[in-house]
Amino acid sequence: MATSTGCAIVGIDMHEQAISTAKSTASRQLPKERAEFRIMDATEELPFPNGSFDAITCIDAINHFPKRRSVVAEWSRLLKPHGRLLFTDPITVTGPLTNAEVSTRSSAGFYLFVPPGYDELNIALCGLRLVVTENVTRNMAEVAQRRYAARESRSSRLREIEGDREYAGQQEFLEIAARIAKEGRLSRFVYVSEKPR
């Protein structure tokens, strides 16, 4: 983002390895003053003044936040007037799901499955104006299918690294993620909203 737009960025993640990787990657592409990365929990109040940012993005992570409205409200606080918020929600329930599908699809930690309209309501309640809503479920299905196939083509080596049980669990996760997305039962949406003056 910073390379293609010329902007300065601040990235946060609660995992030290993610921040370390981001710092290493950025140091090869950007001047230090244009990219800052911090270990912090995005679900907590963030240590930035009101109106600090022109834009905030959150790609496929909001579904891991238990108190979504308070997170979106915090983002709204941090945006400048006319600032934009873009986030994707890959866990919108748009059809019937079995308990086994939900269990497998949420096997990698906390997931908040939401009904259609949930994100739009939270955006409005947090004082933001919805600008764009787009259903991007097809790409979620395609990515899961490609990851499944790529892993299967390297199954011997991955089984050595992960063990049979972990490998099989990951493959089941990807197979189910691809199928229920392809069938339109669990969908991914992108939302862009704007903070009014």
* Three-class SS state of 26: helix
Can you give the residue ranges of every domain in the chain?
1-40, 53-194
Over residues 122-147, the pLDDT tens digits come to: 999 999 999 999 999 999 999 999 99
Q: What is the pTM of this model?
A: 0.91
- For residue 166 the two structure tokens come to 């972990």
Over residues 79-127, the pLDDT tens digits come to: 999 999 999 999 999 999 999 999 999 998 999 999 999 999 999 999 9
What is the DSSP secondary structure assignment for residue 107, as one 8-state letter?
Answer: T
List strand residue ranges (DSSP E) for the chain, in order.
Answer: 9-13, 35-39, 53-58, 79-93, 129-135, 186-194
Do the strands 53-58 and 79-93 form a parallel or antiparallel pair, or are they unpaired? Answer: parallel
Percent of the chain with pLDDT over 70: 100
Topology at the third CATH level for domain 53-194: Rossmann fold (3.40.50)
Structure confidence at residue 6 (pLDDT): 87
88 touches 181 (CB < 8 A): no
